[in-house]
Amino acid sequence: MELGTPKTTGPCRVAVLRALKLGDLLVAVPAFRALRAAWPKAEIILVGLPWARSFVERYRCYLDGFREFPGYPGLPEREPEVARIPAFLNEMQGERFDLALQMHGSGSFVNSLTVLLGARHAAGFYVPGEYCPDAELFCPWPTRGREVMRLLALLEFLGLPSQGDHLEFPLQDDDFRAVAKLEGADQLQAGEYVCLHPGASVPERRWPVEWFAAVGDALARRGLRPVLTGSAAEKELTASVTRAMQAPALDLAGRTDLGAIAALLSQSRLLVCNDTGVSHLADALQVPSIILSTGNNPERWAPRDRRLHRVLSGTESVRLDYVTALAEAMLEDGEVHDETSSGFFAESN
C-alpha cells in the first residue's frame, strides 16, 4: 500500500482511533475531510467513545461507520471495561483493516493498542524515544501548534493534502425542531439572546458561578435574554448561575442533545464559555464567542479566527470586569450575527 498515492492505491478500509470527547472530535473534522478527499472510495471507521456514534451519523460525508472503544488501561477518557477488551480486539482483528490510523494523541499508551487492532499497516504519532511501530508511517508528535494543525501535519506526513483547517458542523432541520419543542424556547428570538456555558469537564477549568451570573445580568441589561447550556451532569451548576442572577434566564442544561445545542447556539448573539467542547461548536458555526481558558496550553485549542472568538487566559484577562467589558464591546462592534425580526424557534414548531 502506497500512502503517497492515495487516490490510486490507498487503503480500502481505515480504522481511525480517536476515542475522545466532543471538542477533540470537532477539531479533527478537517483531518476527516482530508482523509475523505484523498481516499474517496475507502471505508473510514471511527473507533471512539460511546457518545461518538451520533457524531459519526452527523458526519456521514466523511465517516462511514463506528466501533465502540471499551477503554484501555492508562487512558483516562473512559474507565476501561477490561472484560470487553479481548473481544473488542478480536473483532477488530477479524475485520482486517488495511490501515489503523492513530489520531488519539502523542502515541504514549496507544501505539501498542493501535498495532493490536490488527490492520495490515498502522500509522500515527509517536514520542521520540518511545515505541514507534513503523518509522515510515509514524511521525514525531508536534509539541506546539493548534490541535487542528497537528492532525493535518500527520496526514501531510502520509502524503495526504489538507482541504483547509476550518471546522464545520452540519445542522439539520430536526435540530431546530428539537429546540422549538423545549419549554421556554418560544420566548427566544433569533439574535436576541446570548448563551452562557459555565461547565467544563475539569472543575478547575470553570470560571466562577457568580461571575457567569454577573455577565448574564450585564447582557440582560442590554436587552438580551441569557440562556444557560450544559449537560445533564451540569444541571446543578447552571441552576446555581440562574439563582445568582437578578435577571430571568432560560436554563436548558440537560435538555438538549448535540444537534439541539448547536441549533440553539447558531441563532445566539454571543457565547461566553469555559475552554470546553461548546467553544469548538461556536467556531464551527461562526458564532462570536468569549472563551475563558483557565487551563494549560490555550493556544493548542484556540479557534483559527481570533477576532470572532476571543480566548482569554491569565489572571488579568479573565477578571469579571474585563470579560464584561469585552462582551459589551463585541456586541457594539457588530461582531455578531445579523439580527432577525422573526421568532426563529417559535416558527419551527
Domain ranges of the chain: 6-157, 173-347
Is residue 294 pLDDT above 70, yes or no?
A: yes
Identify the CATH number of the domain defined by range 6-157: 3.40.50.2000
Give the pLDDT band of residue 201 (cuts 50, 70, 90): confident
Is residue 342 pLDDT above 60, yes or no?
A: no
Instruction: Give the whole-angstrom CA distance, residue 200 versus residue 320.
Output: 18
**Whole-number pLDDT of residue 344:** 47
C-alpha separations of 128 from 38, 79, 115 in Å: 28, 28, 18
Provide the b/e sequence for 231-248 (b: ≥16 CB within 10 Å). Answer: beebbebbebbbebbeee
Q: Which position has the grid cell 472568538?
A: 309
Q: Which helix (H) or strand (E) holds 261?
A: helix 258-266
Of the candidate ranges 22-36, 224-238, 323-337, the one whose mean pLDDT is the lowest: 323-337
**Whole-number pLDDT of residue 109:** 87
Instruction: Give the whole-angstrom CA distance, residue 211 versus residue 209.
Output: 5
Instruction: Give the whole-angstrom CA distance, residue 228 versus residue 244.
Output: 12
Which residue in 74, 33, 28 sits closest to 47, CA to CA?
Answer: 28
Provide the b/e sequence for 145-162 (b: ≥16 CB within 10 Å). Answer: ebbbbbbbbbbebbebeb
**Segment 88-120, tens digit of pLDDT:** 999 999 999 999 999 999 999 899 999 999 999
Q: What is the maximum alpha-carbon separation in the chain?
A: 63
Q: Contact at 8 Å (CB) between 160 and 34?
A: yes
The string of DSSP codes covering 52-121 is HHHHHHHTTTT--EEEE----TT-TTS---GGGHHHHHHHHHHT--SEEEE-SSSSTTHHHHHHHT--SE
Same fold, 6-157 and 173-347: yes
Q: Which position has the grid cell 493548534?
A: 146
Q: 295 or 269: which carries more pLDDT confidence?
A: 269
**Segment 297-312, tens digit of pLDDT:** 788 889 999 899 999 9
Q: Helix (H, G, I), strand (E, B), or coil: what is residue 143?
A: coil
Identify the CATH number of the domain defined by range 173-347: 3.40.50.2000
Q: Which three cell numbers stand for residue 9?
A: 492505491
Output DSSP code: residue 13. Answer: E
**Whole-number pLDDT of residue 113:** 97
Instruction: Give the whole-angstrom CA distance, residue 261 versus residue 141.
Output: 33
Q: Helix (H, G, I), strand (E, B), or coil: what is residue 154?
A: helix
The helices-and-strands tally (H runs, E runs) of the chain is 15, 12
Instruction: Give the whole-angstrom CA distance, residue 250 versus residue 216.
Output: 11
What does pLDDT average to over the chain?
Answer: 91
